[in-house]
């Protein structure tokens, strides 16, 4: 089993933090996760950004989200989200979100929304055969408070050398039992939260003698940008497979990307992340 610390908060706490307070026109406030860590977790900011967008969506669905993190947040201060509608047409809309604390910019996001409609399609190129989630090893991944089953042999917290590829299944408890709105936005927010965590560790897998467990002692890391694309509806309380890899680690920056598949083989989301990985 991967040697990672137990999560410092539970799913109920995460769902609670995804409930934002109105603080003015298109302005919302949210509290931070209960954990012993001074920096606001980027996955939380991604999830709260999606919730803020939902409140200004005018019936449209989230198609893509691009988010930058120019400054780290302080867990002792609430997050404020200001949503700007840049353009809203009959089927598409472009919105921006600024996340701040005390007037300081923590995150800047741009989102594309789309009214659901039928259209042309072709089946996604299928993954190679992967084992069923119940046959995979169950692990704890810090910051993800739900069931995780890892396919890849590599341990992200061990210094062993492996290819920069990481695959894992995940599934939350039934959303309807958690007191959250059971809609696409909630499932997208939970997925966004989870995709923020393991890309840096995956990028470090080929580096001998180093792992994500060494952050803060041998290197400093911080996510600088994260992008998600949502292709189809999905449910986080059904099994989804995260298939990610890192094609490059260079110039004190790591880059990784991944796809998210349902248990029945639908490609429902994709993501990419760039981060700073600076040796100390």
Per domain, the residue ranges of the chain are 11-279
Rounded to whole angstroms, how far apart are CA atoms 139 and 158? 14
The whole-number pLDDT of residue 5 equals 41
Write down the pTM of the prediction. 0.94
Tell me which long-range contacts 128-136 makes (C-beta under 8 A, separation of at least 24).
130/167, 130/241, 133/169, 133/171, 133/239, 133/241, 133/263, 136/168, 136/169
pLDDT tier, 119 (very low <50, low <70, confident <90, very high otherwise): confident
Residue with tokens 């009959």: 90
Tokens of 48: 């709260």
pLDDT of 3 above 70: no
Domain 11-279 has CATH 2.40.160.210: yes
Distances (CA, A) of 44 to 23, 139, 238: 19, 21, 21
CB hemisphere CA count around 86 (13 angstroms): 12
Q: What digits encode the pLDDT tens for the residues 187-234?
A: 999 999 999 999 999 999 999 999 999 988 999 999 999 999 999 999
Distances (CA, A) of 4 to 44, 123, 237: 19, 37, 23
Residue 80 three-state SS:
strand
% of residues, the chain, pLDDT over 90: 85
């Amino acid at each position: 089993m991967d040697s990672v610390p137990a999560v410092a908060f539970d799913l109920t706490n995460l769902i609670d933090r995804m409930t934002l307070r109105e603080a003015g026109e298109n302005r919302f406030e949210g509290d931070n996760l209960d954990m012993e860590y001074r920096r606001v977790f980027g996955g939380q900011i991604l999830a709260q950004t999606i919730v803020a967008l939902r409140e200004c969506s005018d019936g449209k669905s989230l198609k893509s989200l691009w988010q930058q993190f120019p400054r780290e947040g302080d867990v002792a201060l609430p997050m404020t989200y200001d949503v700007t509608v840049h353009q809203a047409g009959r089927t598409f809309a472009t919105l921006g979100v600024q996340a701040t604390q005390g007037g300081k910019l923590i995150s800047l996001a741009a989102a594309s929304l789309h009214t659901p409609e039928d259209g042309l399609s072709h089946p996604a190129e299928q993954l190679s055969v992967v084992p069923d989630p119940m046959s995979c090893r169950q692990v704890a991944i810090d910051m993800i408070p739900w069931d995780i089953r890892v396919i890849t042999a590599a341990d992200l917290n061990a210094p062993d050398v492996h290819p920069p590829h990481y695959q894992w299944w995940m599934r939350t408890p039934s959303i309807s039992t958690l007191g959250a709105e059971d809609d696409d936005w909630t499932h997208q927010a939970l997925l966004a939260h989870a995709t923020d965590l393991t890309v840096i560790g995956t990028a470090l897998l080929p580096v001998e003698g180093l792992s994500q467990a060494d952050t803060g002692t041998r290197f400093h890391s911080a996510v600088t940008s994260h992008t998600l694309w949502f292709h189809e509806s999905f449910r986080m309380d059904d099994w989804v497979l995260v298939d990610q890899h890192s094609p490059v680690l260079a110039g004190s920056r790591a880059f990784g990307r991944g796809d998210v598949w349902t248990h029945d083989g639908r490609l429902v989301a994709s993501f990419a992340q760039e981060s700073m990985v600076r040796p100390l």
